[in-house]
């Protein structure tokens, strides 16, 4: 992996931004449209820029091809914020080109899917936010999940102070014309005592709201221990997360993967099960078969394999990969 060139700049009206050169494996569409996060959206009128909130910060992200390679721009962040938070959040120290090469050597479908989603990176999100978000994701679709998560932040999260320079940047680079308020994802302490009924009135998430009430109460007593989750055997690590209400194996795997705790997990939902059945098995999967297969085939890179496959199938469909790799299994 080549060393990244990270430099700090300011607009004429004082907005700090960081430019990153030397990283070709970064595409906001691939990163934010692969089902791993719910608080990032393209700017109205400018889908090349994504705006989101994480870690009590607001960021506008774009990546463009320059004459000497890709230029990644993180607006509303200086070098201090980049090294304190965003470098880790975007997993910038990991060599994704090497991961794609390894997966491509193991699997023809992954070779195709990884090429289609070559700018994907797995975010290292805050564990509590990831836990609550994926409890809300159960049997839900991405637009509805985003709505639930955003309403929760607006109702219970602390306002994030932003400078006028950010709003000028948004007006100049999109069709945004009014001040946009931003809210941090609420901490467990801010959700303490919120009832299932109050969650329902806010999130409109149905039966999942009872899970939220119970999970917040449990989390305040027993928060996630990332180091314990990272170092425990996989089945035991799942158990550490399944003690929270509304968390089954799939949600537990999502939390481990998208909160940056483990990469040897392969979250299996209806979409991913169909991918495995159609690409690899050509029949319905038996209980326990998916986990054994992905563990043997992808090992510690299973989470990356899942994300490349999920993005490829979501954007292009199973038939596309089947046609591009006819006769491969």
Shared domain check, 151 and 98:
no
Shared domain check, 90 and 14:
yes
pLDDT at 286: 87
pLDDT at 166: 96
> Is 28 inside any structural domain?
yes
Shared domain check, 214 and 147:
yes
pLDDT at 324: 64
pLDDT, tens digit, for every residue of 166-221? 999 999 999 988 888 999 999 999 999 999 999 999 999 999 999 999 999 999 99
Per-10-residue mean pLDDT of the chain, 329 residues long, equals 92 98 95 94 95 97 90 98 98 97 91 92 98 93 94 97 94 89 97 96 93 98 98 97 97 98 93 85 88 93 93 76 59
pLDDT at 326: 54
Any idea what the CATH number is for the domain that residue 238 is in? 1.10.340.30
Task: Kindly report the average pLDDT of the chain as a whole number.
Answer: 93
Domain end among 210, 234, 258: 258
Shared domain check, 140 and 70:
no
> Is 273 inside any structural domain?
no
Q: Which two tokens stand for residue 238?
A: 């799942």
Alpha carbon 21 to chain centroid, angstroms: 22
Shared domain check, 131 and 99:
no
β strands within the chain, DSSP E: 5-10, 16-21, 40-43, 46-54, 57-66, 69-75
> Is 306 inside any structural domain?
no
pLDDT at 139: 82
Q: Which domain holds residue 69?
A: 5-105
Domain end among 258, 277, 296: 258
> Is 291 inside any structural domain?
no
Shared domain check, 151 and 247:
yes
pLDDT, tens digit, for every residue of 103-112? 999 888 889 8
Any idea what the CATH number is for the domain that residue 64 is in? 3.30.310.260
CA distance 262 to 241: 13
Domain end among 235, 258, 281: 258
pLDDT at 271: 77
CA distance 326 to 125: 37
210 φ/ψ sector (left φ>0, alpha ψ -120 to 50, else beta): alpha
Shared domain check, 131 and 59:
no
pLDDT at 257: 98
* Of 121, 134, 156, 130, nearest in space to 54 by CA: 130
pTM here is 0.94
Residue where the block lists tokens 């994300």 = 307
* Of 240, 257, 259, nearest in space to 300 by CA: 257
Count of structural domains within the chain = 2
pLDDT at 329: 46
Shared domain check, 86 and 148:
no
> Is 32 inside any structural domain?
yes
């Amino acid at each position: 992996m080549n060393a990244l060139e990270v430099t700090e700049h300011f607009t004429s009206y004082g907005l700090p931004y960081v430019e990153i050169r030397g990283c070709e494996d970064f595409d906001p569409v691939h990163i934010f449209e692969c089902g791993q996060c719910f608080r990032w959206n393209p700017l109205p009128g400018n889908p090349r820029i994504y705006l989101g909130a994480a870690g009590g910060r607001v960021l506008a992200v774009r990546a463009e091809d320059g004459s000497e390679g890709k230029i990644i721009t993180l607006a509303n962040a200086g070098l201090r914020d980049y090294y304190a938070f965003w470098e880790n959040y975007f997993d910038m120290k990991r060599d994704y080109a090497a991961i794609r090469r390894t997966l491509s050597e193991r699997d023809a479908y992954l070779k195709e899917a990884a090429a289609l989603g070559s700018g994907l990176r797995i975010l290292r999100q805050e564990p509590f936010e990831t836990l609550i978000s994926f409890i809300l994701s159960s049997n839900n679709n991405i637009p509805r999940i985003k709505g639930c998560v955003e309403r929760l932040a607006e109702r219970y999260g602390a306002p994030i102070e932003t400078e006028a320079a950010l709003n000028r940047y948004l007006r100049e680079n999109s069709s945004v014309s009014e001040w946009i308020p931003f809210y941090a994802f609420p901490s467990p302490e801010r959700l303490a005592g919120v009832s299932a009924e109050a969650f329902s009135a806010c999130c409109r998430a149905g039966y999942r709201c009872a899970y939220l009430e119970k999970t917040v109460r449990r989390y305040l007593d027993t928060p996630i221990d990332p180091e314990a989750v990272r170092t425990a055997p996989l089945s035991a690590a799942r158990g550490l997360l399944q003690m929270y209400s509304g968390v089954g194996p799939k949600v537990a795997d999502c939390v481990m993967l998208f909160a940056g705790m483990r990469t040897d997990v392969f979250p299996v939902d209806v979409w991913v099960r169909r991918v495995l059945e159609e690409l690899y098995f050509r029949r319905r999967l038996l209980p326990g078969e998916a986990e054994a297969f992905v563990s043997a085939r992808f090992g510690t890179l299973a989470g990356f394999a899942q994300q490349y496959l999920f993005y490829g199938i979501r954007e292009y469909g199973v038939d596309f990969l089947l046609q591009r790799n006819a006769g491969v299994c």
